[in-house]
Amino acid sequence: MPISESESLVMNVLWQRHPLSAEEIVAALGGSGWQESTIKTLLNRLLTKGVVAAEKDGRRYLYSPLIERADYVHVESKDLLDRLFGGRVAPLVAHFSERRKLTKKDIAELKRIVEELDNER
């Protein structure tokens, strides 16, 4: 199930620390400008999608992620590459380099990654 941008903010809170009550999630997202009801709606959507679990704890529920952040990032990045760049990484990097969005630090890191990949082969 795809996770919306808004839902991913709730997931980020849960990936950092869990289990959490709805009130704790609301507090963590306090700077988002969202109402408590909005955050609870997002939690219910995530429950329906099966990416969050809720365990009863007295009169409240504690929420935990059912998917790992790394798995989510993998699926989302693969989808982006497939949709926009034919599944290839090089055109993605070329796009950012053409738009001058790569810093010297980014370039150095990319060189290091490519070198490591070459050494593995």
Distance of alpha carbon 53 from alpha carbon 65, whole angstroms: 6
In this prediction, residues 65-91 reach a mean pLDDT of 93
Residue type, 66: L
pTM confidence score: 0.80
Residue-range domains of the chain with CATH? 5-65 (1.10.10.10), 69-120 (1.10.4040)
Query: Across-strand partners of 56?
Result: 61
Mean pLDDT of 100-112: 87
In which band, very low, low, confident or very high, does the pLDDT at 16 lie, cut at 50, 70 and 90?
Answer: very high
- Say if residue 73's pLDDT is above 80: yes
